[in-house]
Chain A
Amino acid sequence: MNSAQITIQIIVTLVAIACAIPGTFLVLRKMSLISDAISHSILLGIVIGFFIVEDTSSPLLIFLAALAGVVTVILVEFIQKTGLVKEDTAIGLVFPALFSIGVILISKNANDVHLDIDSVMVGDLSLAPFDPLLINCQEGIADSCVNLGPKAIWVVGIILIITLTLLFAFFKELKVSTFDAGLAAALGFSPVIMHYGLMTVSSITIVGAFDAVGPILVVALMIAPAATAYLFTKDLKKMLLLSCFFGVIASIAGFWLAYIIDASISGSMTTVLAVLFLLVYEPIITSVVVSFLTGVGIIFYQWYTFLMAQGIELDKMLLGKKIQTVFSEFIFLDYFYIFVMTSIFSATLIYILPKRGLIYGYYKVRQQKTEIMLLVFLLHIRNHTEESERHVKHLNEHINWQRLRSQSIVALAEKNNMITVTDQIISLTEKGDDFTEKAIDYIITNKDTEIEEMKDDFFLFRG
């Protein structure tokens, strides 16, 4: 690794953490799309700032851009408060308008200067290490500046420090106002201030990261790690930590992916984020697809280099043509086992994963089904005192179960000492009676967790 690579990795890590923290709160507050809106409308701030100072590196630009972000939020809130449209519509109305004004201003006035939409809307990380922060420059004297290292590190670093400070200072307040705005107001800290504080921080973060990774990818870095973490945990602290973790992983992996395939860093960071999310969300399909694609990629690359070595001018061809050429020379069976092995390996790995794997899920659903059936059965027995209704064979007709199933339920209930069967007539034991009564209580009051305790009480499914 050379120093530029290390610098970029430091920057992406900082950006990822700085984005993940406000992103977590945005996701929890159901305001993810505000980040998208802000990231577009700050263009207007940048353009106006540029017209004022005619300098793309002025801090005024950052300030105005952040201001434009906050203005967006205020406008959205205002439109929403009028009650004429829903929040998402309000967002969809505000940011395209602001963005359009920005684009028109650029195309109208800035043709002769170095400011076009592409350079604003698509950041380039690979240049970041070569854009140093210079201070103490004296007019006319070359090399008089003190070089403080890459500017992006400073910008993002400062934003991160501010974010972290605010997070630690107001963690409690943020937590309460996120989950229960009413309670927060009752406790005396204004949810409005928290809301706008969070919006300001998000806005500043987006502006800071904007330079480095481009607006859409800031949105990705804000939402995707938080969403992935949210699938894992419902604990706020864990979610924050996990989303930082995912962000950092994706950033560094993304950097190396970009390095390998020679493409944009932010694009590959997002791709890694997407893969991470999919791995958590749909583990089996994703792992199979990813391993399959990797397998194809490796094989393709081997054949590619092999054909190149034979002097076929593959590198001048289009990808589509290349694929055709490579695969026309390609004997599939030779590599078939790689596919199979990678697919099977990752699939089995995911299948047996506790709590998330498919087998576990299937088992759990079945278990819950059985529990409900047992409950229905016990309720039925409890409600009928006459013997004809409690005959074993009678159950099939009455609860509409197939014979085999009813037998297994009866067996389960018997095993749990909830019923006794004498002469094919079922009667509840004391324990069964107790259980059913509690179950009715549970159904009526619908208190959570009680059924779990009940299972512990009666050793259900434990023989």
Chain B
Amino acid sequence: MLGTAILGAICGMLGSFAVLRKQSLLGDAISHAALPGIAIAFLITGVKDSNLFLLGALISGLIGTFWIRSITKNTHLKSDTALGLTLSLFFGFGMLLLTFIQKQPNASQAGLDTYLFGQAATLLAKDVWLIAIVAGIALLILLVFWKEFKILLFDEDYTKTLGFNTRFIDILITTFIVITIVLGLQTVGVILMSAMLLAPAAAARQWTNSLEIMVILAAIFGAFSGVVGTGISTVVGNLSTGPVIVLVASGIVLLSFIFSPKRGLLFREIRFRKNRNNIKMQKTLAFMYEIAKTHEHISHPHAIKILNDFQGFSKRSLQELVDLSYVQINGQQWSMTQKGFTTAANLYNQQIEDTHE
């Protein structure tokens, strides 16, 4: 559980960078690209040592990443095609090697495919330590190069003109993303790794516009989904850990999408309605103003029916106008108050000012 928590945190942390750099699906591609590395590592050594597999996966993941980079740079193929190519071709090659391994006479190859789907239950204390150490190093590097990372994210050209070595920073962060992915493979598996990298970051993005807070939030979300996911899967028997973690993370994303105060769908809808009502009310008021202007006395009563010609009118908006004491209603008649008149006059001026700004 500790392992998944740390893993979730580090995924969230680094995932923030991936998401902001529009490399969201890099995780997906890399986690698939790691397969041939694992297979080759086994083919050559014949030992089922997880550190060795990690090394193999790391190497082939890095090759995949730089392949993606060079394809998008050198050809007119777009990054999605490059990602898809890397993902499927590497994975296919990995499958070839896996089936080739399975045909080999010695029988110790069983269990290679747990890497495909991941089992957090198989995590040993040793692995947790490894994850923790990598997380620590990643955190350290993140803190040391914070300024560079941040500036690289938002304005690459500017970074270059400032004299930073963008290539180095780029390679550094990509390498760490790849390392994380490779570490995560064992826990949540190839297919779900991309969600682990993405979901916490995407959720955190909804709550803040600041990179610092986003990274911290993403780490918290990641750790939370790791803990809760593992917890659920141990309490409810027969559930594989990876998918549960992913679902928890997806749930967090969903909640963030709906409830985040600034960007969330719920509040946006509320804001939207409020604005619409406001506009409706202002339109009615402006209409009334136009009528009232033509009369000597502004509080001259008019029939409500007149407003029927006008679409912005509704019982609710009228009531609101009364509440704001812009308008008085006597039976079927309405009349404007002095306050309403000035507001409407100012409203008109204000609008003109707004458009001129």
Interface residues of chain A, those whose CB is within 8 Å of chain B, are: 27, 30-33, 35-36, 40, 79, 82, 84-86, 88-89, 91-93, 96-97, 99-101, 103-104, 107-108, 111, 117-118, 121-122, 214, 216-217, 219-220, 222-224, 226-227, 230-231, 258, 261-264, 266-271, 273-274, 277, 281, 315-321, 323
Contact among B92, B253, B263, B265 with A270 in the assembled complex (CB-CB below 8 Å): B92
Please give the distance in Å from B99's CB to the nearest CB on chain A: 4
The closest CB in chain B to the CB of A267 belongs to: B96
Instruction: Determine if A93 and B250 form an interchain contact, defined as CB atoms under 8 angstroms apart.
Output: yes
Interface SS majority for chain B: helix
Interface residues of chain B, those whose CB is within 8 Å of chain A, are: 19, 22-25, 27-28, 32, 43-46, 71, 74-78, 80-81, 83-85, 87-100, 103-106, 113, 116-117, 191-192, 194-195, 197-199, 202, 205-206, 238-240, 242-244, 246-247, 250, 253, 257, 263, 265
Query: Using Cβ atoms and an 8 Å threshold, which residues of chain A touch B257?
Result: 79, 82, 84
Known contacts A93-B253, A219-B88; A99 and B78 CB within 8 A of each other: no
Contact among B24, B46, B98, B244 with A320 in the assembled complex (CB-CB below 8 Å): B46
Instruction: Determine if A277 and B89 form an interchain contact, defined as CB atoms under 8 angstroms apart.
Output: yes
Instruction: Determine if A271 and B92 form an interchain contact, defined as CB atoms under 8 angstroms apart.
Output: yes
Tell me, in angstroms, the Cα distance from A72 to B23 when the chains sit together: 20
Tell me, in angstroms, the Cα distance from A31 to B84 when the chains sit together: 10
Query: Using Cβ atoms and an 8 Å threshold, which residues of chain A touch B194?
Result: 92, 96
Instruction: Determine if A264 and B95 form an interchain contact, defined as CB atoms under 8 angstroms apart.
Output: yes
A-B complex: 3 closest residue pairs judged by Cβ atoms:
A270-B92, A267-B96, A96-B195
Query: Using Cβ atoms and an 8 Å threshold, which residues of chain B touch A274?
Result: 89-90, 92-93
Query: Using Cβ atoms and an 8 Å threshold, which residues of chain B touch A320?
Result: 43-46
Known contacts A32-B81, A217-B95, A263-B99; A108 and B238 CB within 8 A of each other: yes
Please give the distance in Å from A25's CB to the nearest CB on chain B: 12
Please give the distance in Å from A279's CB to the nearest CB on chain B: 13
Contact among B74, B87, B247 with A216 in the assembled complex (CB-CB below 8 Å): B87
Tell me, in angstroms, the Cα distance from A79 to B24 when the chains sit together: 15
Q: Would you list 29 pairs from A and B whose C-beta atoms are within 8 A, ordered by A residue?
A: A32-B81, A32-B84, A36-B28, A79-B257, A84-B205, A85-B19, A85-B202, A88-B80, A91-B24, A92-B197, A93-B198, A96-B198, A99-B191, A100-B247, A103-B240, A104-B239, A107-B240, A108-B239, A216-B87, A216-B92, A217-B88, A217-B91, A217-B92, A219-B84, A230-B76, A264-B95, A264-B96, A267-B95, A320-B44
Tell me, in angstroms, the Cα distance from A397 to B262 when the chains sit together: 60
Instruction: Determine if B84 and A36 form an interchain contact, defined as CB atoms under 8 angstroms apart.
Output: yes
Tell me, in angstroms, the Cα distance from A298 to B186 when the chains sit together: 36
Known contacts A104-B240, A319-B43, A320-B45; A91 and B103 CB within 8 A of each other: no
Query: Using Cβ atoms and an 8 Å threshold, which residues of chain B touch A273?
Result: 89, 92
Instruction: Determine if A89 and B96 form an interchain contact, defined as CB atoms under 8 angstroms apart.
Output: no
The closest CB in chain B to the CB of A213 belongs to: B92
The closest CB in chain A to the CB of B117 belongs to: A117
Instruction: Determine if A223 and B84 form an interchain contact, defined as CB atoms under 8 angstroms apart.
Output: yes
Q: Most B CB atoms within 10 A — which of A82, A85, A99, A321? A: A85
Query: Using Cβ atoms and an 8 Å threshold, which residues of chain B touch A226?
Result: 81
Tell me, in angstroms, the Cα distance from A121 to B80 when the chains sit together: 22
The closest CB in chain B to the CB of A276 belongs to: B89
Contact among B19, B89, B98, B191 with A40 in the assembled complex (CB-CB below 8 Å): B191
Query: Using Cβ atoms and an 8 Å threshold, which residues of chain B touch A104?
Result: 239-240, 243-244, 247
The closest CB in chain B to the CB of A100 belongs to: B243
Instruction: Determine if B96 and A92 form an interchain contact, defined as CB atoms under 8 angstroms apart.
Output: no
Contact among A100, A269, A323 with B246 in the assembled complex (CB-CB below 8 Å): A100
Tell me, in angstroms, the Cα distance from A68 to B207 when the chains sit together: 30
Tell me, in angstroms, the Cα distance from A315 to B27 when the chains sit together: 38
Query: Using Cβ atoms and an 8 Å threshold, which residues of chain B touch A318?
Result: 43, 46, 104, 106
Instruction: Determine if A118 and B113 form an interchain contact, defined as CB atoms under 8 angstroms apart.
Output: yes
Instruction: Determine if A88 and B88 form an interchain contact, defined as CB atoms under 8 angstroms apart.
Output: no
Tell me, in angstroms, the Cα distance from A360 to B144 when the chains sit together: 46
Q: Most B CB atoms within 10 A — which of A224, A230, A269, A270? A: A270
